[in-house]
Amino acid sequence: MKRTLIVILLLLSACPSAARGQEAPPPPFLSDIGIDQRLGEQVPLDLVFRDEAGKPVKLGDLVKDRPTILMLVYYECPMLCTMSLNDLLKALKVTPLDVGKHFDIVTVSFDPREGPDLAMAKKDSYVRQYARDGAAEGWHFLTGEADPIRALTQAVGFRYTWDEPTQQFAHASGFMILTPGGKLARYFYGHNYSPSDLRLSLVEASGGKIGSKTDAILLYCFHYDPAKGKYSLAIMNLLRVLGLLTVALLGGFVVRSLVQEKRRQAQVP
């Protein structure tokens, strides 16, 4: 039963409610589970949680002047949350941007029964595996009371429910990218997150303050598909870039030819 539930939730995570359109409604068991996009909306930064040491911390104190990855999990989840965290870690390890330097991560438990001891154990594990300087200061694992948890999950469109037969939370998986001001910029669904999509999302959320010139060009050639939570190739923009490169190459060829012709004429007695 547990494995069946996890498979169903993984499928649901890959199909956000914004993309279901005219499809048949989900089974009653799943009707209250999903992730609804709130792109452009403000996350309530005045909500207070507990950090790994058990100290009260305001969400706004962790969402700084750089992008933030916000992930909602519960730490004693037997499989799905760990899979999501592991897949995020896998993408982070091949992304040139650094946690604690270019962006931050805020992982929040939506189970009000969980405490700082579980949060600290998770933090120690993932910071150690990430193994980059500054990660301990930039990757936060929070717990909290029911009211701020409810306010945060509702604000970002994260819907979940308690399943009594399995004694587990039924929920989708994914994470959100926040701008430096705490607005919802991008959603990622399911698992096996694309490192290139993650990098582009962070660069875009930062307003171009992080990333390379190559990233800026890639953002021009790719556009974000909200239904899939991924970047896809923007054909027209790519054609424009290729057209500009063609003009530049032709211009360079013409200039070089003219220079060579002048040199030949100068050598003629």
Q: What is the mean pLDDT of residues 48-59?
A: 97
Q: What is the dihedral of CA 95, 63, 208, 212, to 10 degrees?
A: -20
Q: What is the mean pLDDT of residues 126-148?
A: 97
The amino acid sitting at 213 is K
Residue 193 pLDDT greater than 60, yes or no: yes
Residue 242 pLDDT greater than 50, yes or no: no
Q: What is the mean pLDDT of residues 116-137?
A: 97
Residue 93 pLDDT greater than 80, yes or no: yes
- Predicted local confidence at residue 235, as pLDDT: 38
- Predicted local confidence at residue 230, as pLDDT: 61
CATH architecture designation of domain 2-208: 3-Layer(aba) Sandwich (3.40)
Q: What is the mean pLDDT of residues 245-269?
A: 53
Distances (CA, A) of 76 to 82, 109, 112: 9, 9, 12
Lowest mean pLDDT segment, chosen from 58-62, 85-89, 244-248 = 244-248
CA distance linking residue 214 with residue 211, whole number of Å: 8
- Predicted local confidence at residue 7, as pLDDT: 44
pLDDT top residue among 31 and 220: 31
Q: Are 215 and 97 in contact (CB under 8 A)?
A: no
User: What are the structure tokens assigned to 206, written together?
Assistant: 């930062």
- Predicted local confidence at residue 196, as pLDDT: 87
Q: What is the dihedral of CA 243, 246, 251, 253, to 10 degrees?
A: -170
pLDDT top residue among 199 and 11: 199
Nearest Cα neighbor of 105 from 202, 27, 18 is 202
Q: What is the pLDDT of residues 157-183, one digit of tens each?
A: 999 999 888 889 999 899 999 999 999
Q: What is the mean pLDDT of residues 9-20?
A: 48
Angle between helices 213-221 and 235-267 (to 10 degrees): 120
Strands 68-73 and 184-189: unpaired
Lowest mean pLDDT segment, chosen from 44-53, 153-162, 216-225 = 216-225
Q: Are 205 and 67 in contact (CB under 8 A)?
A: yes
What is the model's pTM?
Answer: 0.72
What is the pLDDT of the chain when averaged over all its residues?
Answer: 79
CA distance linking residue 198 with residue 231, whole number of Å: 9
Q: What is the pLDDT of residues 19-52, one digit of tens each?
A: 444 555 555 556 788 999 999 999 999 999 999 9
Residues 6+ apart with CB under 8 A from 140: 51, 52, 57, 62, 104, 105, 106, 107, 123
